Amino acid sequence: MIKHIVMWNVRGDSAAERQRNAQWLKCEFEALRGAVPGLLQLEVGIDHSRIDYACDVVLYTEFESQAALDAYAHHPEHLRIRQVLGDVRTARHQVDYDPAH
């Protein structure tokens, strides 16, 4: 199994606009459940702490293998989200790891 975690900060001139963008991002990624082969678990969280160093949104996913994660990177629905996400995000952080190692 491979765990894939991504965190973003999103654009917005106000807290309300950032919240709308974060909610949009959450909905887009949650729509991938059941659509991507090898995707075992998907969870999206929106930060509520508002700590200055916190990210706005986190995506937590588990894939059955590295090959499944690699295929996800090229899945048409994931590519569609990535394309529109480029206009919404201001920062991105990622960690991929094998919990067995």
Question: What Å distances lie between residue 53 and 65, 71, 91, CA to CA?
Answer: 32, 32, 12
What is the domain count for the chain? Answer: 1
Please give the pLDDT value at position 50. 87
Contact (CB, 8 A) for 36 and 59: no
Q: What is the CATH number of the domain that holds 55?
A: 3.30.70.100
pLDDT digits (tens, 9 = 90+) for 70-99: 999 999 999 999 999 988 999 999 999 999
pLDDT digits (tens, 9 = 90+) for 22-75: 999 999 999 999 999 999 999 999 999 989 999 999 999 999 999 999 999 999
Q: What residue numbers bound the domain in which 39 lies?
A: 2-97
For residue 42, what are its two tokens? 């998907």
Element at 10 (helix H, strand E)? strand 2-10
Please give the pLDDT value at position 46. 98
N-term to C-term CA, the chain: 11
Q: Measure the CA–CA gap between 90 and 47, rounded to whole angstroms.
A: 15
Contact (CB, 8 A) for 4 and 61: yes
